Structure 1
Amino acid sequence: MGVMNELINAGSVETLTRILTEIGPEIRWERTAGAASKLDGLNLRARTDLLAEALVADISSVPSPGYPTAADSFRAALQVPEFTGWLLWPVSEAAVTLALASGAMKDFDDCLALLAALTPRLTGEFAVRRLLANDPDRALAAIRGWAASPDEHVRRLASEGTRPYLPWAVRVPALIQRPQATLAILDALYRDPSGYVRRSVANHLNDLARHAPGEVVDTARRWLAAPDANTGRLVRHGLRTLLKKGHPDALVLLGFAPAQVAVSGPRLDREVLTLPGELTFAFDVANTGSEDARLAVDYLVHYRKADGSESAKVFKISTVTLAPGESRSLTKRHAFREMTTRVHYPGVHALELQINGTAHGRTEFLLELP
């Protein structure tokens, strides 16, 4: 994360201060400039908050403080090509802080428009969340209009900024409690010509699947009834979590109907594994039915947690189609290494196969720490 933190550094602050001073000399921007010396030891989010607070303080110290002054300054700065990149994250957060402090609906609406203007230089997906949390209906009414923007960055902002579980971003309870609220945005964008936008739509759909799987499957079914060349790939990506969970309707929608199979294994290459290491396993799967079987072949690792309970994670192996009576032998290696996203605990773990959402052949092994 050290490299990420440096996306906003002393040089960024100096650039931002210089640009704002050139276009708005009536504001001294002293606190903004002073933030450059306070960044050490802070992560990217903390640096953003520090600089946003400094911008708000400087704008609040002028004879005409408040959101309109900030909006005029930031829009004027857009004339400068260097006014771009990560230094715009604190700018967008400062604008939202001042718009919400104002309490005026005209400032709220103008701040949404300002974020749309800024987002081609750096996405406003994080700052817009606070406007959504404050007044979701008013914000969504404007955001739905962004889906028709000629700028792909603004269209993506409509989808990405309203994702229920956007990484790094604050949660907006209304987006989770009302999954239908953003479907009109996704309906408008799922056939977007930009892959950048379509990836956001797929990730948004996958977010919704965490708490509204029925609505997600219904939406995907509608899209597949009126597809273009990219719809199939988008839907597969958007349903990836439901597929891993073995959701039956999602599996059927993507062609993985319930199948009659016989599974032998998994056969592990060892019973005891020392971290770091690799576990190799093999298994056989046969189609015992009378029709071709299209199979989503996955496996689960049941990790041991600190309290002795288990936490399963699904990993993909392959998609295979077997004729009646046909069998296939498959082999896979799984690496166990320390990662920032997973802490390993010694003890009994398990590996299990999953074929079209149905579990087969749980086999245990012992994980030891060095």
Structure 2
Amino acid sequence: MGVMNELINPGVVGSLERILAAASPGSGLPRLAGTAAQLGERSLRERTDLLSRALLADLPGEYAGTSAVFRRALDDPGFTGWMIWPVTETAATLALASTKPGDFEDCLALLAELTPRLTAEFAIRRLLAADLDRALAVIRDWTSHPDWHVRRLASEGTRAYLPWAIRVPEITDRPAATLPILDALYRDPVVDVRRSVANHLNDLARHAPDEVVATAANWMAAPDENTAWVVRHGLRTLLKKAHPGALELLGFPPASIAVTSPRLESAAVELPGELAFEFDITNNGPAEARLAVDFVVHYAKANGTLAEKVFKLATPVLGPGESRTFSKRHAFRQMTTRVHHPGDHALQLQVNGVRYPAEEFTVLA
């Protein structure tokens, strides 16, 4: 994370100070200037909070005055990049503290103006958490905004599990609340917006799988050339979890097939190493079979229990009576996202949601 932390560095602080001083003539920004020497070993989030606290101390005390400074700063094309994150957090802090009518909604409008310069998806979470319905009443109108950055903010900012962002429990408790946003955007002409819609749908699938499948089915009933990809990406977790509705919608109904047990090249893998295996699938049915072929690795945990992870392998179509051999080499290497522990593991095949008997193997330190 060291490189990420440096996205807000003394140079960024200096540029932000210059731009805001020009947008607020006669106002000194001593607290902001002082943060350049205080960044130290702070994380990117901590640097953002440090700059935001300085802005709250330096700029006019009420939301209206500070938001006016930020809007004037938008005239400077250099007012962009990671300096925008502390600016958006400052605006949210002041709007949430304000008792003046309209400041909440104006802050959302300001975030929409700022989001093309970086993204306002992190700061918007605090407004959603404070009053979800009030915020969504504004955000839903963004789905027809002419700037795709704002349309993306409507979807990305309201995701249940937005990376780096605070959680908004009410979004997970009320999955239907954000579905109108996705309904309006799934055919957006910009790929970044459609990708956000798919990721948002995948987030909702953790808590509302049936509602997510129903939504995807409605989209498939009124598709464009990109809808199939949005649905596949949005249902990817449900597909791995073998949700029947998701499998059916994506064209993987139950099939009359025979699947052999995986044949392991070796019953032991020494770290770092690879597990090589192969297996056969035969279509015993009278019609062609479209298959979603996955494999499941049951990893040994430090406490001796097993934790599974599903991996995609292939999506073949087998004709009546056709047999096919599949092979794979799966890597076992220590990573920051997965620590491998020595011990007994297992490999299992999953085809169209049906799991077949597992083969055990051992990982050696």
- In the alignment, does 2:114 pair up with 1:118? yes
In the other structure, the counterpart of 1:53 is 53
Displacement after TM superposition at 1:69 (Å):
1.3
What amino acid is aligned across from residue 45 of structure 1 in structure 2?
Answer: R
In the other structure, the counterpart of 2:290 is 294
Number of equivalent positions: 365
TM-score w.r.t. length of structure 2: 0.98
For 1:350 and 1:357, the matched residues in 2 are separated by 18
- In the alignment, does 2:230 pair up with 1:234? yes
- In the alignment, does 2:86 pair up with 1:90? yes
In the other structure, the counterpart of 1:220 is 216
* Percent identity (aligned): 63
In the other structure, the counterpart of 2:7 is 7
| Other structure's SS at 2:357 match | strand
Question: Does the 8 A contact of 2:275 with 2:330 survive in 1?
Answer: yes
Question: Does the 8 A contact of 1:263 with 1:361 survive in 2?
Answer: no
Displacement after TM superposition at 1:288 (Å):
1.4
What amino acid is aligned across from residue 51 of structure 2 in structure 1?
Answer: L
For 1:266 and 1:104, the matched residues in 2 are separated by 66
- In the alignment, does 2:314 pair up with 1:341? no
In the other structure, the counterpart of 2:42 is 42
In the other structure, the counterpart of 1:261 is 257
| Other structure's SS at 2:178 match | helix
Question: Does the 8 A contact of 2:160 with 2:168 survive in 1?
Answer: yes
**Deviation sequence 1:207-250 (CA, Å, 0-9, x none):** 01011001100000000000001001110010000001111110
**Deviation sequence 1:303-323 (CA, Å, 0-9, x none):** 111211111111111001111
Displacement after TM superposition at 1:325 (Å):
1.1
In the other structure, the counterpart of 1:30 is 30
Deviates further, 4-13 or 154-163: 4-13
For 1:209 and 1:27, the matched residues in 2 are separated by 49
For 2:15 and 2:34, the matched residues in 1 are separated by 13
Identify the match of residue 143 of structure 1 among 124, 139, 142: 139
| Other structure's SS at 1:361 match | coil
| Other structure's SS at 2:309 match | strand
Displacement after TM superposition at 1:324 (Å):
1.6
Displacement after TM superposition at 1:27 (Å):
2.3
Question: Does the 8 A contact of 1:264 with 1:361 survive in 2?
Answer: no
**Deviation sequence 1:191-218 (CA, Å, 0-9, x none):** 1111111000000000010110011000
| Other structure's SS at 1:338 match | coil
What amino acid is aligned across from residue 56 of structure 1 in structure 2?
Answer: L
Aligned ranges for residues 144-163 of structure 1 at < 5 Å?
144-163=140-159
For 1:319 and 1:146, the matched residues in 2 are separated by 37
4+ runs deviating over 6 angstroms? none
Question: Which blocks of at least 5 consecutive residues in structure 1 are unaligned?
Answer: none
What RMSD over aligned residues (CA atoms) do the two structures have, in Å? 0.9
For 2:221 and 2:194, the matched residues in 1 are separated by 17
Identify the match of residue 274 of structure 2 among 278, 295, 299: 278
**Deviation sequence 1:171-208 (CA, Å, 0-9, x none):** 00111000000111001101111111100000000001
Aligned ranges for residues 155-234 of structure 1 at < 5 Å?
155-234=151-230
For 1:75 and 1:9, the matched residues in 2 are separated by 23
Question: Which blocks of at least 5 consecutive residues in structure 2 are unaligned?
Answer: none
For 2:128 and 2:137, the matched residues in 1 are separated by 10
**Deviation sequence 1:81-117 (CA, Å, 0-9, x none):** 1000111001000110111111334111110000000
Question: Does the 8 A contact of 1:273 with 1:368 survive in 2?
Answer: yes
What amino acid is aligned across from residue 50 of structure 2 in structure 1?
Answer: L
Displacement after TM superposition at 1:361 (Å):
2.9
In the other structure, the counterpart of 2:21 is 21
